[in-house]
């Protein structure tokens, strides 16, 4: 009989669903210390948590019988997913349970910020009748900039339009057709920053989105602009926000998430033009019930029928010869999107050679996951990648051909978007190591690594010395260098494997010193 430990508070509806299933034993022990959890976990096959209990590598190692960890909610940042994957433990979340609650909290802060509700409440409690200093603004006729138009952002956009607002949307993975269906106007982030009266953020926290809104963005905003963040702390540079609010560079802010939680002794507390809530986006009775029921249903499906839903770290591959190509395809998808940049309208995955004779659906899904993750973060997984692509109006094409001369099998991921086409090809070598063998028309021999620097520039003497010197001056070590060119003196591609990420300032320095036609830091 499998045993499940519920280590955080869970709504009664979810607990009842779990406990009434014959053949599953459930222990409800919310709020354990790490020591408690380490002592208990060896006895359990399943673990359910919310945001309070941390599931680190030590807990996962101690879970000798553990098969699955479930997060009743969307974020899995409190779970060491990499360690779970190494241990063969499935990690799943419930990505849809709090969509309405998160969107409605955003809207509550939008309205509250416009009409100074929080400050008005404080002054009333101080027995003041301070109408003159609390004059607000109407939403009708104003422009709302929505950064990230997934399910939550789309919900916010629809309500804002009903309130008479014009909606601009920035989302690299939203097609023009989908934007038209929602009645929003696609815009670059810079236009969102300069033209919006209100800005709301709905993106995951990743290398691409960390400090997405910083000092430069605040200086370009209208002085009457207000910004709302119910997504993730760290998407806004808090120091820059505090400075902008204190200097009245912008009119106000409303925050539900912070770089450090709990907030503690922050300068934000002393500002009168910011509304603060303690990460309440999912804190509604309905959302608590939904995520509890969702995770319970997913655990029952797994333990009773062997069905895995909303897994964030599982490749559903039954053919062992497909697995390395699925892992490769995920890297290729991420690399192609990050090199291409801009909005994506089509992703084509092609299997060539021997691979074409097998079921390659897992390869396609893995490529989609890799391509969507830079924009969607931990919301996208191998279960929902296809659905998310469809939601964003991205056309997905799978093609196969047995014809292949130079390799036994090859996978090509081609991304089409506003920046044109980018195609990346790879294979799995005899040592089962993945290789990237072509970037657009250039042949390379690249071992995928976490930190890459990709450059296209004229093939001239002295170029390597220039960027190598700059990287060395900043203590950035080059582990490997791959060069591809089609003719002497023509354009060349150089891909550097680095031990550490390249800061934006160093990228700017390289651009100034080297005549690069294209330069981008990539993280896989």
- The residues annotated as belonging to the active site are 232, 261, 279
Mapped onto helix, strand or coil, the DSSP state of residue 407 is coil
Taking the C-alpha atoms of residue 369 and residue 366, their distance in angstroms, rounded to an integer, is: 5
Residue corresponding to tokens 């989302």: 171
Q: Give Rg (Cα) of the chain.
A: 25
Q: What is the C-alpha separation between 435 and 445, in angstroms, rounded?
A: 6
The answer to whether the beta carbons of residues 451 and 523 sit under 8 Å apart is yes
Q: What is the C-alpha separation between 411 and 347, in angstroms, rounded?
A: 13
* Stretch (H or E) spanning 513: helix 504-513
Are the beta carbons of 29 and 6 closer than 8 angstroms?
Answer: yes
Residue 336, both tokens: 């192609």
248-251: Cβ within 8 A, 24+ apart: 248/223, 248/273, 249/218, 249/219, 249/221, 249/223, 250/218, 250/221, 250/222, 250/223, 250/224, 250/225, 250/226, 251/223, 251/224, 251/225, 251/226
Residue pair 257/231 in contact by the 8 Å Cβ criterion: yes
Q: What backbone torsions phi and psi does residue 54 show, to the nearest 5 degrees?
A: -90, 130
Tell me the pairing of strands 90-92 and 68-71: parallel
Extended beta strands in 341-419, E state: 344-353, 395-401, 409-417
Examine residue 251 and say whether the peptide bond preceding it is cis (omega within 30 degrees of 0).
no
Secondary structure class of 332 (helix, strand, coil): helix
Tokens describing residue 133: 């200093």
Beta bridge partners of 179: none
Instruction: List the one residue out of 275, 278, 277 whose CA is nearest residue 251.
Output: 275
CA distances from 448 to 328, 334, 472 (A): 9, 11, 22
Q: Is 18 helix (H, G, I), strand (E, B) or coil?
A: helix
HSE on the CB side for 160, CA within 13 Å? 34
| Strand, helix or coil for residue 484 | strand
Return the biggest CA–CA distance within the chain. Answer: 83
Cβ–Cβ < 8 Å for 144, 198: yes
Residue 350 CB: number of other CB atoms within 10 A? 22
Rounded Cα gap, residues 133 and 225, in angstroms = 18
């Amino acid at each position: 009989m499998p045993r499940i430990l519920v280590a955080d508070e869970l709504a009664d509806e979810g607990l009842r669903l779990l406990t009434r299933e014959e053949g599953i034993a459930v222990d409800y022990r919310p709020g354990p210390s790490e020591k408690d959890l380490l002592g208990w976990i060896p006895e359990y096959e399943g673990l359910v948590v919310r945001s309070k209990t941390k599931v680190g590598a030590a807990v996962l190692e101690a879970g000798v019988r553990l098969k699955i960890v479930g997060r009743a909610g969307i974020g899995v940042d409190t779970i060491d997913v990499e360690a779970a994957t190494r241990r063969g433990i499935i990690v799943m979340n419930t990505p849809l349970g709090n969509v309405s609650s998160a969107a409605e909290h955003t809207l509550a802060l939008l309205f509250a910020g416009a009409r100074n509700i929080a400050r008005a409440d404080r002054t009333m409690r101080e027995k003041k009748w301070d109408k003159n200093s609390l004059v607000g603004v109407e939403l009708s006729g104003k422009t709302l900039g929505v950064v990230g138009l997934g399910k939550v952002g789309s919900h916010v956009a629809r309500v804002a339009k009903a309130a008479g607002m014009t909606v601009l949307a920035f989302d690299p993975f939203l097609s023009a057709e989908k934007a038209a269906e929602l009645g929003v106007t696609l815009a670059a982030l810079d236009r969102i920053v300069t033209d919006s009266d209100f800005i709301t953020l709905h993106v995951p926290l990743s290398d691409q989105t960390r400090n997405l809104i910083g000092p430069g963005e605040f200086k370009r905003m209208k002085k009457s602009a207000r910004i709302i963040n119910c997504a993730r702390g760290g998407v806004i540079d808090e120091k820059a926000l505090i400075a902008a609010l204190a200097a009245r560079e912008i009119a106000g802010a409303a925050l539900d998430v912070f770089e450090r939680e709990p907030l503690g002794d922050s300068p934000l507390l002393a500002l009168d033009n910011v509304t603060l809530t303690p990460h309440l986006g999912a804190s509604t009775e309905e959302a608590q019930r939904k995520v509890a029921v969702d995770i319970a249903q997913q655990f029952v499906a797994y333990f009773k029928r062997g069905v895995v839903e909303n897994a964030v770290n599982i490749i559903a591959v039954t053919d062992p010869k497909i697995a390395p190509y699925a892992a490769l395809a995920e890297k290729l998808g991420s690399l192609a999107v990050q090199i291409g940049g801009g909005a994506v309208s089509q992703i084509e995955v092609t299997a060539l050679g021997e691979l074409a004779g097998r079921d390659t659906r897992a390869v396609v899904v893995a490529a989609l996951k890799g391509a969507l993750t830079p924009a969607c973060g931990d919301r996208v997984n191998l279960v929902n990648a296809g659905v998310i692509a469809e939601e964003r109006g991205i056309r997905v094409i799978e093609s196969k051909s047995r014809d292949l001369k130079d390799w036994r099998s090859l996978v090509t991921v081609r991304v089409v978007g506003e920046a044109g086409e980018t195609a990346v090809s790879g294979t799995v070598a005899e040592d089962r190591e993945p290789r990237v063998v072509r970037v657009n028309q250039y042949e390379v021999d690249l071992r995928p690594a976490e930190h890459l620097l990709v450059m296209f520039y004229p093939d001239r003497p002295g170029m390597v010395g220039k960027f190598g010197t700059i990287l060395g001056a900043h203590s950035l070590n080059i582990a490997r260098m791959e060069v591809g060119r089609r003719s002497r003196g023509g354009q060349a591609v150089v891909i550097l494997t680095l031990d550490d990420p390249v800061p934006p300032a160093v990228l700017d320095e390289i651009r100034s010193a080297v005549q690069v036609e294209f330069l981008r830091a990539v993280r896989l």
